[in-house]
Amino acid sequence: MTSTSITPPAAETTALSKWEALVLDIAIASEQAELKVFNYRDKWDNKAARSWVAELRRLKGGIERARKDSKAIHLERGRAVDETAKTLEASVQGLIEPHERELRAIEAEEQARIDAHKSVLDFIAALPEGVATAADAEARLAQLAEIDTAGLEEFANAGAARHAEATERLLELRDALREREAEQAELEALRAEKAAREEAERQERIRQQAIADERARAEREQQAEQRRQEQQRAEAERRAEAERQQAAERERDAERRVQEAVQAAAAAEARAREAEARGKARLEAERQAEADRVAREHAAQQARKSREAKLRRELIEAMTSSTPDAVADAIIAGSLHKALSIDWAAV
């Protein structure tokens, strides 16, 4: 062990003497201060007052110098004490270090073992998260089945519990996703059926319109031919007999009215068919909207039932794993379940 020099007591005695002298000077100044009464507006008293203040400032400066001298002495002694303490501590630490090194190595091994088990627990707990399809749920279940929680040592019970909980959750997700995917497939099939039906109806309307257009064209040609023949007959009859021409004219008028009536009836029939088609399309749209609404309500009911079942299990587990007092305290503290809270305004 190396020896460390410390400032001799004589330096401290000198510093204390300075402080004692200052205390004496301050006492003398205090006695003199009682006699110092100045008229600051008087030239000589003002000068005397400034001289007195300067003397007091010098006394104050002496205090600061004494403080620095005394502090330097104590700082030197403190540094010497610190060096000695460091030397002694290093000697003892040299005796401690071999044992601490072995203890830290064992603690690190133990922590690594615990961390490995906890990572398995965390992996099990995270498996039900982010499942988007029934196939995902099946793959996660296969991963879960490959995990042996018996090798988790003191965490085996916790691992088994998490394994069972994750399995149950994944089975619920798989079933719910299968049902939802089936509903989506059915909805897509209904939409495809509706689109095909609408396309068939559109093609039928096009065909009927083509038939109507062809019928109208044929009727126009027939009428034109009839008018031509009638004109020829009328010209011949006009040359033969005026009365016959008048009779032919009346006959043509009657025929035109008949044709107009036939055309009006055909137009009315076409409008009736178009109105019937629009009614069928509206009824089909209403039926599809009702089917969509029923599907959405069914999906919402299934989702709510799933959430209610999960909440019921979690509440039962929380309440059966603790005493009634602990359950009551957890409810009051708001930590029993994130879905539960107390309306303190009603208490």
pLDDT in tens, 23-61: 888 888 888 888 888 888 888 888 888 888 888 888 888
- Which domain range does residue 323 map to? 316-347
Q: Are residues 65 and 93 in the same domain?
A: yes
Length of the chain: 347
Q: How many domains, in total, are found in the chain?
A: 3
Contacts of residue 4, defined as CB under 8 A and 6 or more positions apart, other chains included, come to 80, 81, 83, 84, 87
Name the least confident of 4-8, 152-156, 183-187, 297-301. Answer: 4-8
Q: Are residues 237 and 133 in the same domain?
A: yes
- The mean pLDDT value of the chain amounts to 79
Are residues 237 and 281 located together in one domain of the fold? yes
Which residue is associated with the tokens 């270090």? 97
Identify whether residues 259 and 198 lie together within a single domain: yes
Which tens digit of pLDDT belongs to each residue from 271-281? 878 888 887 88
Q: Is residue 280 part of a domain?
A: yes
Interior CA angle at 73 toward 5 and 3, to 5°?
Answer: 10
pLDDT at 195 over 70: yes
Q: Is residue 292 part of a domain?
A: no
- Count other C-beta atoms under 10 Å from residue 164's C-beta: 12
